[in-house]
Amino acid sequence: MRIALIAHIRHPIAMPFMGGMEAHSYALSSALRDRGHDVTMFASGDSKPPSGVRLHPIVEHHYDRDFPWHRFHGTDALNAHLDAAFEGILNQLRDGGFDVIHNNSLHRYPPRMARRDRVPMLTSLHVPPFDALRRAVHASGAAWNRFTVCSSEQLKVWSSATSELPLHIAYNGIDTARWSFRPQGDGIAVWFGRITPNKGTAEAVRAARYAGLPLRIFGPVEDQAYFDQVVAPFLGPTMAYCGNLDPDMLADAVSRASVCLFTPRWNEPFGLAAVEAMSCGVPVAAFDAGAVSEVVGEGGAIVEEGDVVGLAAAALRAMRLDRHDVRQQTVSRFGLDTMIDRYEELYRLCIAERDTPAPDVDFPSIELPAWAGVLPLAAE
C-alpha cells in the first residue's frame, strides 16, 4: 500500500524522542516500511524519519521552538499557526495517490477532509477528547474514515457522545527486541518521560525518598521551572537526572532497574513508558489514572492516583514480582507486530468501504478552510 502518515508537529519525529507520540510515529513508519509498504511521513521539516521513509515537511521546523506549548497552548497565535500548517497539506493528502492515510496529527482538518472527499483514513486518538478535535471526530466518522483509541478506558471517553462512531481499540506496540529482557535489577528505581507536572515527576521523587530507593530520572525537561523546583533540589548521590537518551541507550538503562515508577497525573490514555519498562522485565509501581490498570495488568502494583506513600510501598512490593512473567505478558499484548497487524486490518477496511453510502451528518458543522479544487459540501 501507499501510505501517508501524518505526525503531530509539536516536536520533530527524531531521536531522542520527546515523548510517546513521536516514538509511536517513528516506530509505525519503520514497521510499515518493513512490511513492504511505501510510506511518506508528513511531519515537521526537522524530523528524521527511518531510512526508506520519505519526509514531506508540514512546516519548516516543529512548533514548540517558536510557540512553546506551556506558554501558547490554546492561544490564537498557536491555533492560527497550526491551522495554516495543516491547511497547506490537505491538497497533497487528497491528490497524492495514497491508498490510505494514517493520521496522528491531533488536528481537526485531516479527518474532516477525509470525510468530505472520501479519502480512506485511519486516525489514532492518542489523547483524551479536547473540544475542537472531539467535534471533528464526531462530525467526520464514516465507513472509510475510522478512528482508533489505545485502550478500553479511552474508548469509553471518546464514544460517550454517540454509539455510531467508527471507533476501534488498537493497543500501542513497541519493539520488544529493543526493550529487551534483563533477568535481574540493580536495586534502583527508574522514572522516565517528559518532565512536566502532568507526568508526576515530583511524586516519583517523593515516593523514592519514602521507600529509601535510589532513583534515576530520564527524559526531556519540558517545564524548566518545575524541574528546578521539584527535582533539582533533591539530586545527589542517590537521586540522579541522567538526561534524554536515544532509544537504545534508554532501553539499556531502564532494563537495569528493579522497579519503574509510573506517575501520570492526568487521564492517561495508554502508558507507553510502563509498557517499555515491563518489556525489559522491570515491574511497575503506578498511579491508577486512565488506562494504567488495564495496561499494567499483573506487571506491577497500582495505587490511587496521587497517593505518594502508597506508591512507595507499591514499589517495594513490585520489586518482588517475577521479571519473566512481567516480560511475557508485555510481549504477548504489546508487541509491534500485533499493532501493525491491527492497523493493516483497519487500513483494508477503510479502503474497501470508500464507496459506502455516507452517514447522515450536519454538513454546516464541518469546519474546513476554503482551498481550490474541493467539491462543495453539498456534492455528497
CATH of the domain at 13: 3.40.50.2000
Would you say 126 and 272 are in contact if contact means Cβ atoms under 8 Å apart?
A: no
Query: Quick one: cell of 345?
Result: 486490518
The pLDDT of residue 159 is: 80
In a domain, 181, yes or no: no
Which residue range is the domain that position 25 belongs to? 2-173+337-379
Give 10-residue mean pLDDT values along the chain (380 residues).
97 91 94 97 97 97 91 91 96 97 96 96 91 88 94 86 77 94 97 96 98 97 95 96 95 98 95 97 97 96 98 98 96 94 97 82 42 31
In a domain, 34, yes or no: yes
- The dihedrals phi and psi of 205, each to the nearest 5 degrees, come to -60, -45
Amino acid identity at 235: L
Task: Report how many domains make up the chain.
Answer: 2
The pLDDT of residue 366 is: 38
In a domain, 179, yes or no: no
Residues 211 and 316 reside in one and the same domain: yes
In a domain, 218, yes or no: yes
Residues 222 and 350 reside in one and the same domain: no
- In angstroms, the CA 167 to CA 142 distance is 10
The pLDDT of residue 74 is: 87
Give the 3-state DSSP-derived string for 76-136, with helices as H, strands as E and coil as C. HHHHHHHHHHHHCCHHHHHHCCCCEEEECCCCCHHHHHHHHHCCCEEEEECCCCCHHHHHH
Residues 115 and 169 reside in one and the same domain: yes
Query: Quick one: cell of 65?
Result: 521552538
Residues in Cβ contact with 314 at an 8 Å cutoff, skipping those fewer than 6 apart: 285, 286, 300, 301, 302, 303
The pLDDT of residue 379 is: 25
